[in-house]
């Protein structure tokens, strides 16, 4: 009972931070947008956030509860590879982040290359602009498939509950921030993109041009794109003019809520690398 109360309380803090980060990034987009705000913003936001609400339980609630519950359970029993080492919450957080992102990198690659996975992931990529609303524009079946990634690593590593909370908080901030249409000074962004997933770095991944769509696979950090050679960059000015989205599904009706739910049926099979065919 005590464990449930602690986990629920910590989960509430994660959800509260989610809404706070959304609010901050929305204001940032309003006063310092990276790209000119396209027409139909209300239409996009209405449909994107509607889809986000459908997948919210899987992407945020269930994921957070599962990760924190596993961390608390292993922490109490001192189970896992890291438990006997006494590394501290910061080191455990970094190890957990690196581990989940290494696995997540290859899962993301699979969603781009495997013919039956790409149509689900294409719902996220079919947004013709990228802003705070895009971060949670995922078909409900996609997070259902990716949900089991973090919890087994938490169990295997045996990270503390504190480290798991740090991880989920970081995931919230990174997801919203990386999709935001916000301007960061060029000099600062050039250094930041080596450490964190900046909006400019991730925006390249949302290009309609397949060589760029199939790059920058990092979901929370860019580290493994540099390690595996999949990091791509545009010049600072290119971010304002490059076409985003896909080469297909570009009509406003394609982003209507009901169409987003059935959109995987309209996506050409073969993976993202087959877009031009």
Q: What span, in angstroms and rounded, lies between the C-alpha atoms of 77 and 91?
A: 20
Count other Cβ atoms within 10 Å, centred on residue 29: 21
Whether residue 12 has pLDDT greater than 80: no
Q: Report the SS3 class of residue 37.
A: coil
pLDDT in tens, 81-113: 998 888 999 999 999 999 999 999 999 999 999
* pLDDT (0 to 100) of residue 57: 66
Give DSSP secondary structure letters for 113-146. HSTTTHHHHHHHHT-SS-STTGGG---THHHHHH
Instruction: State CA 16 to chain mean position distance.
Output: 18
* Residue 119 lies in domain: 2-274
Confidence of residue 71 (pLDDT cuts 50, 70, 90): confident
Confidence of residue 276 (pLDDT cuts 50, 70, 90): very low
Confidence of residue 121 (pLDDT cuts 50, 70, 90): very high
First vs last C-alpha separation in the chain? 56
* Total number of domains in the chain: 1
Q: Report the SS3 class of residue 223.
A: helix
Instruction: State CA 267 to chain mean position distance.
Output: 21
Q: Where are the alpha helices (DSSP H) in 126-277?
A: 141-146, 150-157, 161-178, 186-192, 199-205, 210-213, 223-228, 257-262
- 112 sits in which H/E element: helix 89-113
Q: Based on C-alpha coordinates, what's the Rg of the chain?
A: 19
Token reading at 64 = 């957070």
pLDDT in tens, 150-208: 888 999 999 998 999 899 889 989 999 999 999 999 999 999 999 999 999 999 999 99
Highest mean pLDDT: which range of 152-156, 203-207, 249-253, 273-277: 203-207
How many residues appear in the chain? 277
Query: Buried b vs exposed e over 88-119: b needs ≥16 C-beta within 10 Å?
Result: eeeebbebbbebbbeebbebbbebbeeeebbb
Residue whose C-alpha is closest to residue 172's, from 202, 136, 138: 136
Token reading at 62 = 């269930």
pLDDT over 70 for what percent of the chain?
A: 91
Q: What span, in angstroms and rounded, lies between the C-alpha atoms of 62 and 147?
A: 8
Q: Report the SS3 class of residue 207.
A: strand
Contacts of 98 (CB under 8 A, 6+ apart): 223
């Amino acid at each position: 009972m005590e464990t449930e109360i602690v986990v629920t309380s910590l989960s509430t803090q994660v959800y509260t931070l989610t809404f706070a980060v959304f609010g901050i990034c929305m204001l940032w987009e309003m006063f310092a947008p990276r790209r000119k705000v396209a027409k139909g913003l209300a239409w996009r936001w209405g449909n994107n956030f509607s889809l986000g609400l459908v997948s919210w339980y899987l992407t945020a609630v269930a994921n957070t509860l599962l990760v924190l519950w596993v961390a608390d359970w292993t922490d109490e029993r001192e189970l896992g590879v890291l438990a006997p080492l006494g590394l501290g919450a910061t080191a455990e957080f970094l190890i957990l982040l690196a581990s989940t992102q290494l696995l997540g990198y290859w899962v993301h690659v699979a969603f781009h290359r495997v013919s039956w996975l790409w149509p689900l992931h294409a719902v996220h990529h079919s947004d013709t602009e990228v802003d705070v609303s895009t971060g949670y524009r995922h078909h409900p079946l996609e997070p259902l498939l990716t949900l089991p990634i973090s919890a087994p690593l938490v169990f295997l590593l045996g990270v503390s509950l504190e480290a798991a909370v740090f991880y989920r908080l970081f995931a919230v901030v990174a997801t919203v921030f990386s999709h935001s249409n916000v301007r960061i000074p060029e000099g600062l962004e050039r250094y930041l993109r080596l450490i964190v997933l900046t909006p400019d770095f991730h925006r390249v991944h949302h290009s309609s041009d397949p060589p760029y769509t199939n790059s920058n696979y990092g979901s929370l950090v860019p580290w493994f794109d540099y390690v595996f050679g999949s990091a791509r960059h545009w010049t600072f000015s290119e971010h304002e003019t490059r076409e985003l989205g896909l080469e297909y599904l570009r009509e406003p009706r394609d982003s209507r809520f009901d169409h987003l739910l059935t959109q995987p049926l309209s996506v050409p099979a073969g993976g993202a690398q087959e877009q031009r065919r």
